[in-house]
Amino acid sequence: MTDAQDSDCEDFHSSHGRDYDTFVQETAGIHRLYEAGVPFFTKEQLRDLSRQLKEAENSEKRDVLIKGLEGTEETFEVRTGVTRAGSEPGTEWVLKAPAIEYRTFGFLTSYRAYQMDGYSDLSLRVLHYMELRDEITKELRPGFRYVVDSVKTINDSFTTSIQSWEASESYTQLQIIESRENLPPITKIVALALGTMQPRSIENWDHRSEFQHALALTLRRIVSKCQGETADKIECFAQDPAYTALDKSILEKYEITCLEDPDAFVEIDDSTIVLTFAPDVPVRQIVADIARPAMMIWNTCEDEIWLHNGREQFM
């Protein structure tokens, strides 16, 4: 859902409850900050959160402190591995490694979100996703485990997808980049939220993640040729909390370095190509606040509604 859908549409059509006036008053400061061009995301903020998360995972200090846009502070406890009763007999929920929730202007000024959680000026929060597993064997339940765990099988599938991609019309069209005379200097490619290559279901194994990673490899090769450099001089980073150890081992063979969230965002600068397709995090809004990459490639939604004066529309 876009920012505009979050803030403008739902509030326009909703029947305002008794706390709507309070909502308008409490979120007025968020509106003023946005209209003044204050970034909701900064590299300094992301670096600090990354540092705290690493410390929380590797030490006895389990708390993460996040400061809000209007000066509030909130502490989150990292509880990786904590379990609770499952939704089925003989099962338990287990908390996975902490994940980052990125909260945009549209979310923070959403009446629906306000009704659920009240006022918040936090553009970042920490949460845990859960997996359901057998209480005794600790084996993940169907739907939470990957049905293919063979490196060779996934690698062979990725190789096939690369070959299919390089035989496609889209691949041919992409070669036009080579003829651009004003291509800015490129030193790195950052791929965000391209997904795991491991399927949870054979029936729904669509290989989209493989094709998207193949695109990253193609861009590195094309840009290297344009700049008269070898491909290894252009760094390639990928970030997705969904990556498994198998994903990382395969991508490493292609000299793609997998980074933990939010470290890949920090890598983005004016010499970067950014790739993202249907992410479940607001990549464009984050990038619009922290950098002006040389190139950004994403999928376009036909029913997308642009935010009036939204900073990301000018990228």
Kindly report whether the peptide bond that precedes residue 142 is cis, defined as omega within 30 degrees of 0.
no
User: Is 41 part of any domain?
Assistant: yes
Q: Tell me, yes or no, whether 276 and 162 share the same domain.
A: yes
Q: Tell me, yes or no, whether 126 and 170 share the same domain.
A: no
Q: Tell me, yes or no, whether 155 and 81 share the same domain.
A: no
Going from the C-alpha of 138 to that of each of 130, 131, 147, the distances in angstroms are 13, 10, 16
User: Is 139 part of any domain?
Assistant: no
User: Is 14 part of any domain?
Assistant: no
Q: Tell me, yes or no, whether 160 and 251 share the same domain.
A: yes
Would you mind telling me the total number of residues written for the chain in this entry? 315
DSSP letter string, 262-292: THHHHH--TTEEEEESS-SS-HHHHHHHH--
What was the pLDDT predicted at 163? Answer: 97
C-alpha closest to that of 5 among 300, 306, 313: 306
Are the CB atoms for 242 and 195 separated by under 8 Å? yes
DSSP-assigned beta bridge partners for residue 67: 73
pTM of the model: 0.87
The predicted-structure confidence for 117-150, as pLDDT tens digits, reads as follows 889 999 999 999 999 999 999 999 998 999 998 9
The Cα 176–Cα 186 span in angstroms is: 16
Structure token digits, residue 297:
């490639």
Which run of H or E residues covers position 216?
helix 208-227
DSSP letter string, 63-100: EEEEE-TTS-EEEEE--TT-EEE-SSTTEEEEEEEEEE
Does residue 309 surpass a pLDDT of 50?
Answer: no
Q: Tell me, yes or no, whether 151 and 275 share the same domain.
A: yes
User: Is 192 part of any domain?
Assistant: yes
User: Is 13 part of any domain?
Assistant: no
The predicted-structure confidence for 144-195, as pLDDT tens digits, reads as follows 999 998 999 999 999 999 999 999 999 999 988 877 778 889 999 999 999 9
Q: Tell me, yes or no, whether 112 and 210 share the same domain.
A: no
129 CB neighbour count, 10 Å cutoff: 11
The Cα 105–Cα 308 span in angstroms is: 12
C-alpha closest to that of 29 among 130, 161, 120: 120
231 pLDDT band (50/70/90 cuts)?
low
The predicted-structure confidence for 33-64, as pLDDT tens digits, reads as follows 999 999 999 999 999 999 999 999 888 778 99
What's the CATH code of the domain at 150? 3.40.50
Q: Tell me, yes or no, whether 119 and 256 share the same domain.
A: no
What was the pLDDT predicted at 211? Answer: 97
More confident residue, 299 or 242: 242
Mean pLDDT of 13-30: 76
96 CB neighbour count, 10 Å cutoff: 14
- How many CA atoms lie less than 13 Å away from 25 in the CB half-sphere? 4
| End residue of a domain, out of 78, 105, 134 | 134
User: Is 180 part of any domain?
Assistant: yes
| End residue of a domain, out of 100, 134, 168 | 134
Place of tokens 């290559």: 197
How do strand 91-102 and strand 272-276 relate by DSSP bridges? unpaired
Which run of H or E residues covers position 113?
helix 111-117
Q: Tell me, yes or no, whether 283 and 208 share the same domain.
A: yes
User: Is 303 part of any domain?
Assistant: no
Going from the C-alpha of 19 to that of each of 12, 27, 229, 298, the distances in angstroms are 16, 12, 60, 38
Does residue 313 surpass a pLDDT of 90?
Answer: no
Q: Tell me, yes or no, whether 107 and 240 share the same domain.
A: no
Over the range 293-313, which residues count as b (16 or more CB within 10 Å of their CB) and which as e? bbbbbbeeeeeeeebeebbbe
Going from the C-alpha of 235 to that of each of 61, 190, 195, 238, 267, the distances in angstroms are 33, 8, 19, 10, 10
The predicted-structure confidence for 65-99, as pLDDT tens digits, reads as follows 999 999 999 999 999 999 999 999 999 999 999 99
Instruction: Quote the domain boundaries for residue 181.
Output: 146-298
Q: Tell me, yes or no, whether 164 and 290 share the same domain.
A: yes
Structure token digits, residue 230:
């070898």
Q: Tell me, yes or no, whether 287 and 157 share the same domain.
A: yes
214 pLDDT band (50/70/90 cuts)?
very high
Does residue 4 surpass a pLDDT of 70?
Answer: no
